[in-house]
Structure 1
């Protein structure tokens, strides 16, 4: 067993891919296991280029997010940070963002309908 889910452990970046970093961590038994830190779990900021954020050989603190039945391990660097906000506040922000996006789409749709109607009326006046 690597560690308990939610535990923060030390790891070493062993490989980088566009979609994330493979980090090697030591299990409680002393063996090493490689887990994936998805690019979205590297930083609280948007990571456009993972190679600019991390390098092979970097020592990092990671939080164990999940240990799947097939043995794959999901890790997070940003959640290992002591300043990381708890998920409840993140979920609230996500809900607020979704509500905003929904209202924005509705506004844009209405605006396009009004502009289309104005163009039709203008063409009707020109044709007359």
Structure 2
């Protein structure tokens, strides 16, 4: 399979926009839980992840991977696989958050929020590649 063909580039752009919406959901939820409700940033990251992954799966299925019939009658299996891949991404996200906030000292409200944005961007590539190459191959 040629990864840089026109169809794959179009699909990546679609995923970029879906991921952008999911990222906004994640950042807003993280901000609310971590800064407004003052919940620990690790717990806030996990809660925001659940909201974001749900939005990403629904929007991705409607737009980016709509032509893929691999899971036509197996939505629960598809959702499970997406959440497993995303959970690995969450682990990467938590490690990055720990490095940014605890190790590097970005522990202000702005520092935590910017750290969350940076971690999301890094994990975005992981999520797309695994969904494209493994789940929706």
TM bucket normalised to smaller: under 0.3
Q: Comparing both chains, which one has the higher relative contact order based on Cα–Cα distances under 8 Å and sequence gaps of 6 or more?
A: 2
Greater strand proportion: 1
Greater helix proportion: 2
In the superposition, the TM-score normalised over structure 2's length comes to 0.25
In the superposition, the TM-score normalised over structure 1's length comes to 0.26
Work out which of the two has the higher radius of gyration on C-alpha atoms and give 1 or 2.
1
